[in-house]
């Protein structure tokens, strides 16, 4: 999913997306009161898309101020927002399509999916935690570590 597509989702939800230089470069994005702030230090639209997806995830899944990550409830909400972004940006069917389009390594796969390599690695860890070693999707079996997609052949 492209950055522009995510901007359209934000617009439909009446969420304003702005660029904001945070005091700390560690902060890449923040959602509060129907405004998503994206740090302008992000160098690519791909990286911006990954951050915007997570911040949209906060819109859909979080309530209140969750900045204090020492609080277990806040960490759970952070995790929910990330899960939302992972499934929005890299649904299982996209992994299957990428495999059959010839993506052979993490770099090619991330490029095909329009996400950063770090984001993709986190997606694969998430799916492995959610489903275990593999997940069957229609006539395919997706193994998560190492990422392998097999098509069932029926006679």
Cβ neighbours around 106 below 10 Å, total: 15
Tens of pLDDT, residue by residue over 30-45, are 999 999 999 999 989 9
Is pLDDT of 111 > 80?
yes
In percent, the amount of the chain with pLDDT more than 90 equals 77
Find the mean pLDDT for residues 89-108.
93
Strand-strand pairing, 134-137 and 35-38:
unpaired
Q: Is 142 helix (H, G, I), strand (E, B) or coil?
A: strand
If one counts every other C-beta atom within 10 angstroms of the C-beta of residue 94, the result is: 17
Residue-level pLDDT at 64? 76
pLDDT score, position 68 = 66
Q: List the domain boundaries for the chain.
A: 1-89, 90-155
Query: Hey, what's the torsion of the CAs at 48, 51, 54, 55, to 10 degrees?
Result: -90
- The pLDDT value recorded for residue 74 is 75
CATH of 90-155, one of 1.10.10, 3.30.2410, 2.40.160, 1.10.287: 1.10.10
Please classify residue 135 by burial: count the beta carbons closer than 10 Å to its beta carbon, then call 0-12 exposed, 13-18 middle and 19+ buried.
middle
Output the DSSP codes for 72-127: HHHHHHHHHHHHHHHHHHS-HHHHHHHHHTT--SHHHHHHHHTS-HHHHHHHHHHH
Q: Tokens in use for 61?
A: 């899944």
Q: What is the three-class DSSP state of 96?
A: helix
CATH topology of 1-89 equal to that of 90-155? yes
pLDDT per residue over 44-72, tens digit each? 999 999 999 999 999 999 777 777 677 78
Query: Domain 1-89, CATH 1.10.10.2910 — does that match?
Result: yes
**Closest to 147 (Cα-Cα) out of 84, 87, 119, 127:** 127
Q: Is the pLDDT assigned to residue 123 strictly greater than 90?
A: yes
Q: Which residue has the higher pLDDT, 82 or 63?
A: 82
């Amino acid at each position: 999913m492209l950055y522009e597509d995510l901007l359209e989702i934000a617009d439909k939800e009446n969420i304003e997306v702005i660029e904001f230089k945070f005091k700390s470069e560690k902060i890449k994005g923040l959602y509060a009161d129907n405004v998503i702030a994206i740090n302008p230090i992000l160098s690519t639209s791909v990286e911006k898309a990954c951050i915007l997806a997570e911040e949209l995830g906060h819109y859909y899944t979080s309530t209140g101020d969750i900045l204090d990550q020492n609080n277990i409830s806040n960490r759970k909400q952070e995790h929910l927002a990330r899960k939302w972004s992972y499934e929005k940006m890299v649904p299982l069917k996209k992994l299957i399509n990428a495999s059959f389009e010839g993506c052979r390594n993490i770099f090619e796969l991330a490029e095909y999916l329009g996400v950063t390599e770090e984001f993709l690695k986190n997606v694969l860890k998430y799916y492995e935690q959610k489903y275990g070693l593999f997940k069957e999707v229609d006539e395919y079996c997706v193994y998560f570590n190492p990422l392998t997609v097999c098509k069932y052949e029926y006679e």
